[in-house]
């Protein structure tokens, strides 16, 4: 990004320079390794909770003996594990 800023400065493209500097500032402020790791952990936890929810729905269907719902929940659980 810095190379693009330098290029825009050389060619007198002040609007491009301003936009790129603003973008670089945001990247430096918000895209820290800690933030990326924390976001990834949060996303992983959400996915794990969704899988647990599907597993519970499957067990409930199995306890009730609802064959159609068992099949449906097995499919949903597989999809959730893949996403």
**Overall number of domains in the chain:** 2
Q: 51 and 80: one domain? A: yes
Please give the helix or strand (H or E) that residue 68 lies within, else none. helix 67-82
- Using the predicted structure, report yes or no on whether residue 4 has a pLDDT greater than 90: yes
In a domain, 65, yes or no: yes
Residue 24: which pLDDT band, with cuts at 50, 70 and 90? very high
21: helix, coil or strand? helix
In a domain, 78, yes or no: yes
pTM: 0.56
**How much of the chain exceeds pLDDT 70, in percent?**
100
In a domain, 38, yes or no: no
In a domain, 76, yes or no: yes
Which tokens belong to 55?
């597993």
Q: 27 and 5: one domain? A: yes
In a domain, 37, yes or no: no
Q: Which residue range(s) make up the domain with 22?
A: 1-31
Burial zone of 15 (CB within 10 Å; 0-12 exposed, 13-18 middle, 19+ buried): exposed
What are the strands, taking DSSP E only, across 26-83? none
In a domain, 40, yes or no: no
In a domain, 36, yes or no: no
């Amino acid at each position: 990004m810095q190379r693009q800023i330098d290029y825009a400065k050389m060619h007198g493209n002040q609007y491009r320079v301003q936009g790129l500097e603003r973008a670089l500032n945001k990247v430096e402020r918000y895209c820290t390794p800690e933030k990326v790791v924390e976001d990834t952990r949060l996303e992983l936890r959400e996915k794990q909770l969704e899988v647990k929810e599907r597993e519970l729905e499957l067990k409930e269907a199995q306890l009730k003996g609802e064959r159609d719902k068992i099949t449906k929940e097995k499919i949903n659980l597989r999809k959730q594990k893949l996403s």
